[in-house]
Amino acid sequence: MKKVKFYKRILLPLVVIMLIFSVSGCTKTTETGGLSNTQDLPITVEGNNYPLKIKDFLKKETILEKKPEKVAVLSGTPLNIWYDLGGKSICTSNITDNLKLISEYKKEINDLPQIGPVYSIDMESVVSLKPDLIIAQAGTQGTQADKLRDIGFKVITTNIRSYDDVIATYNAFGKILGNEKSAEAKIEALKNKKEEIVSKLPKDNKSVVILYITAKTIAVKLDNSIAGDVAKILKLDNIASDLPPDTIGSETTPLDVEYIVKKNPDYVLVTSMISDDEEAKKTMEEEFKSNPVWKGVKAVQEGRVIYLPQQYFLYNAGPYYSEAIEYMAKSIYPEIYGEVTHQDGK
């Protein structure tokens, strides 16, 4: 047992150091489209004109000889960005009210043929449409994306969690659609709004814990989540930043209320994957009342709990990412940014 403890004491720090160096070694820094110190861009496009070479989130390369005419965008966030740049899709996964669609194209998107839930698309329906290009979502559609690629379709896999991911996707989609000027304008607007918000931040940072409630469990969000990324932009200290994910690549860590009590965050932020925002709030409030462990969390007892809307923090808001930043800023610093109103998050 002593030997095991000795090895843990010696080897674990060495592993951490090796990981730090390996990550820093693949860091890519660019100022294109407002990106800086960006690690492993989720999507890149090589070439100024067709043919274009796309390297996606999974580092798989796709060559497009010409601009695709029949594109199947299989999940909401890339669909939103695609349409924001003038693109069209021949289908989509089931769209729910939890996703804030581009108002100009909301009816058109809702009228698209739906090919099942985002996590369980109907492969036969996709194949029958014979798309020139398929844009899939990493993780939930990873297996289907591989199968579609194996049978000969051109597939790009996206993973849009953070602000930088949004910017990279606008850059890539702008090139694919031949609409780079529009992409640059959209990026500039997002960048300017973000900088405007950040410029007003107070010098003293607040601390937060970001809870994540589903129908079955409660976990804590890490920095690589949407809410974690927005918190980082606002220079909020996420008390879970240094905790390990529950699985490799996950954006959550198991709930440890004693740890939260010890860290004593200024605010408790609540994100959810449950039927809707109202149900999420009701479920979380029942948890606070019924479970005595929460009595030790001052932020809960003193009413410093903020419920974050799903359309900004369950799905990446894409074109509306700056609104997500502003929503959290208003929630934490109403004296600077104004109170959250019913219009916010609508």
pLDDT tens-digit series, residues 93-144: 999 888 999 999 999 999 999 999 999 999 999 999 999 999 999 989 999 9
In a domain, 96, yes or no: yes
Residues 218, 223, 227, CA angle at the centre, nearest 5°?
Answer: 65
We report the CATH number of the domain holding residue 278 as 3.40.50.1980
Give the count of domains, the chain.
2
Handedness of CA 96, 116, 164, 167 (dihedral sign): negative
84 and 161 together in one domain: yes
| Together in a domain, 169 and 37 | yes
Q: pLDDT (tens digit, 9 = 90+) per residue, 220-271?
A: 999 999 999 999 999 999 999 999 999 988 999 999 999 999 999 999 999 9
The yes-or-no verdict on residue 22 having pLDDT over 50 is no
Does 13 score more than 90 pLDDT? no
Query: Which structural domain range is residue 164 located in?
Result: 32-196
**Looking at residue 220, what is its pLDDT?**
98
For 183-266, where are the E strands, in sequence order?
207-214, 218-221, 237-238, 252-254
Q: Is 18 part of a structural domain of the chain?
A: no
Q: What is the DSSP letter of 280?
A: H
pLDDT in tens, 34-85: 444 445 789 999 999 999 999 999 999 999 999 999 999 999 999 999 999 9
Rounded to an integer, what distance in angstroms lies between the CA atom of residue 346 and that of residue 343? 5
ω into 51 cis (within 30 of 0):
yes
82 & 222 share domain:
no
- pLDDT of res. 97: 85
Residue 12 is predicted with a pLDDT of 41
Domain's final residue, options 196, 217, 238: 196
Q: CB–CB of 83/105 below 8 Å?
A: yes
Mean of per-residue pLDDT scores for the chain: 89
The pLDDT tens digits for 271-326 are 999 999 999 999 999 999 999 999 999 999 999 999 999 999 998 999 999 999 99
Give me the pLDDT at residue 14, please.
Answer: 38
Task: For the chain, give the number of residues.
Answer: 346
Task: State the Cα–Cα distance between residues 249 and 251, nearest whole angstrom.
Answer: 7
Q: 212 and 184 in one domain? A: no
Both 290 and 169 in one domain: the answer is: no
State whether 296 and 214 are in the same domain.
yes
